[in-house]
Amino acid sequence: MTCRASSKDYASAVRTDVQRRRRSMCLGALTALAVGWPPVRAETPDLAVGQEWSAKGTPAKVIIGRIDATRVEDVISVSLVDVPTELGPTTFAHAPFAKTALVASLDKLLATGVAPAADFEAGYADWKATHGEVFTISVARAIAFATGKPGK
């Protein structure tokens, strides 16, 4: 005995399969909306002189001293305070960062109206006069490099 499906049975099976796929796609779309897909980019914080930030990957704090607009990217000159060293916490009076590198390193805004380190302006002036370079790495990596622990 041979079993043959009628064209009516075939059409019904196809219709059921299409309906199942549509339900699946709708559920997928609803799930994506519920969990936030597509991902929303985090907004770039409004940086301003005098802000004090915590930094990812280090207990050091970042105080914004100057913001310079350039053709390529803004340069944010900061003081790094409470930088951990073998001799105890220290301060880096002036450290210039590319805005994208700095923003990626910032964690939480801690305070506003904070003055940079006492020697910030002297360090900034030296950096400007010598056309110094800019950190394009994270604050934590820059500190590790400066303190002689680049492996961290």
Structural domain total, the chain:
2
Inside any domain, residue 114: yes
Condensed to tens digits (0 to 9), the pLDDT of residues 19-33 reads: 555 544 444 443 334
One domain for residues 127 and 60: yes
One domain for residues 117 and 65: yes
Look up the domain containing 126 and give its range: 52-146
One domain for residues 75 and 120: yes
Q: Is the pLDDT of residue 11 over 90?
A: no
One domain for residues 92 and 56: yes
One domain for residues 36 and 57: no
Inside any domain, residue 47: no
One domain for residues 85 and 114: yes
pLDDT on residue 44 = 74
Instruction: Record the pTM.
Output: 0.71
Inside any domain, residue 45: no
One domain for residues 78 and 130: yes
Condensed to tens digits (0 to 9), the pLDDT of residues 51-64 reads: 999 999 999 999 99
Q: Rounding to the nearest 10 degrees, give the CA dihedral for residues 111, 113, 116, 121.
A: 160
pLDDT on residue 124 = 97
One domain for residues 13 and 68: no
Tell me the C-alpha to C-alpha distance, in Å, between residue 86 and each of 34, 71, 79, 103: 48, 39, 19, 27
One domain for residues 86 and 133: yes
Cα–Cα distance, 40 to 17 (Å, whole number):
34
pLDDT on residue 5 = 52
